[in-house]
Amino acid sequence: MNKQQEFKTYKITNNDITIELTNLGAIIKRIMVPHNNQEIDIVLGFDNEQDYLENDSTYFGAVIGRNANRIEDSIFNIEGTQFHVESNEENHNLHSGSSGFHTRKWDVVSHNEHSITFSLLSPHLDQGFPGELKMEVTYALTDDNAVEVTYKGRSDRLTVFNPTNHSYFNLNGHDSGDVLYHKLWLNSDKYSELNDESIPTGKRLNVTDTNMDFTKLRKISEDKTDEYDDNFILNSSDIHQKVATLIGDVTGIQMDVYTNSPCIQLYTGNGLGDVHGKNGTVYNKHAGVCLETQFEPNSVNSNHPPLIDGEQEYKTIYRFSGL
């Protein structure tokens, strides 16, 4: 059997929104929303699963695990034991390496009209991480047009658990060009200072009077040299407190984000170029924007690492309006 036949596509829906997902990487392939009496697709992606495997460095729509973002020098310590993971971005580890959860076939635990739950068993020393980890991710679509994403982990020993979803949003439609004129608000007064290799220095800088200030709703950028691949420290990790708003400048479609994770990585698709996506669309730089809820990059080497010992749960909600 070839790889293409191993994967299946699933749908969840309500009266307004239809979401298409696949058991490869627990990926969101499409989010179809109504606009001007037609449906538009507001996430970047590919038509078939083989394309996701062949373009795995885009991470379109995928669950990232065990650890989102970067690990400096691909090394970390837990309780005095040093662990080595793959160096897949120069000397560093990005999104857990080339065999991350985004490349795995997930099991489907349950599926109905409004929700689906995927599960994955990651054995001890998988990707270089200690401990057996069983992970579940549930996508649930509510009546008020919210997509609730719940990440549950259960481990048999102390290990790293810092998942996220890597969807690229374009609220004007996935095939509409760049997102730099989208409007963005973030509930964040501070961001991580990064070195030249995108690793935090340990300093947290104030956004005031910088191009990092999204405390008032504004265009992401009017200047294509203003690119973002930056970590913002959220003012609240209360799931009931809104942490971000994104608005399509053409459609007026609005996405509000809620999370109990401590940070958001803002990524404006700077690395995209000549990526052949859905329906013959070619995605270039800034074709989508990611709002990745997670811990600070390299936090596995900080005083507050994202560890799990037993059970842990994180949740992110994307609520759509203006449809």
| Amino acid (1-letter code) at residue 25 | G
Q: pLDDT digits over 74-106, tens only?
A: 999 999 999 999 999 999 999 999 999 999 999
> Which of these, 114, 72, 118, 66, lies nearest to 91 by C-alpha position?
72
Q: pLDDT digits over 161-218, tens only?
A: 999 999 999 999 999 999 999 999 999 999 999 999 999 999 999 999 999 999 999 9
3-state secondary structure of 195: coil
Q: Which of 49, 72, 136, 292 is catalytic?
A: 292
Residue 182 near residue 246 (C-beta atoms within 8 A): yes
Neighbours of 11 (CB within 10 A): 15
Q: pLDDT digits over 112-145, tens only?
A: 999 999 999 999 999 999 999 999 999 999 999 9
For range 17-38, the mean pLDDT: 97
The verdict on whether 240 is a catalytic residue reads no
The verdict on whether 166 is a catalytic residue reads yes
Q: Which two tokens stand for residue 56?
A: 């795995």
Q: Which of 35, 102, 166, 182 is catalytic?
A: 166
Provide the terminal-to-terminal Cα distance of the chain, rounded to the nearest Å.
Answer: 41
For the chain, give percent helix, strand, coil, nearest 5: 10, 45, 50
pLDDT at 5: 56
pLDDT at 2: 46
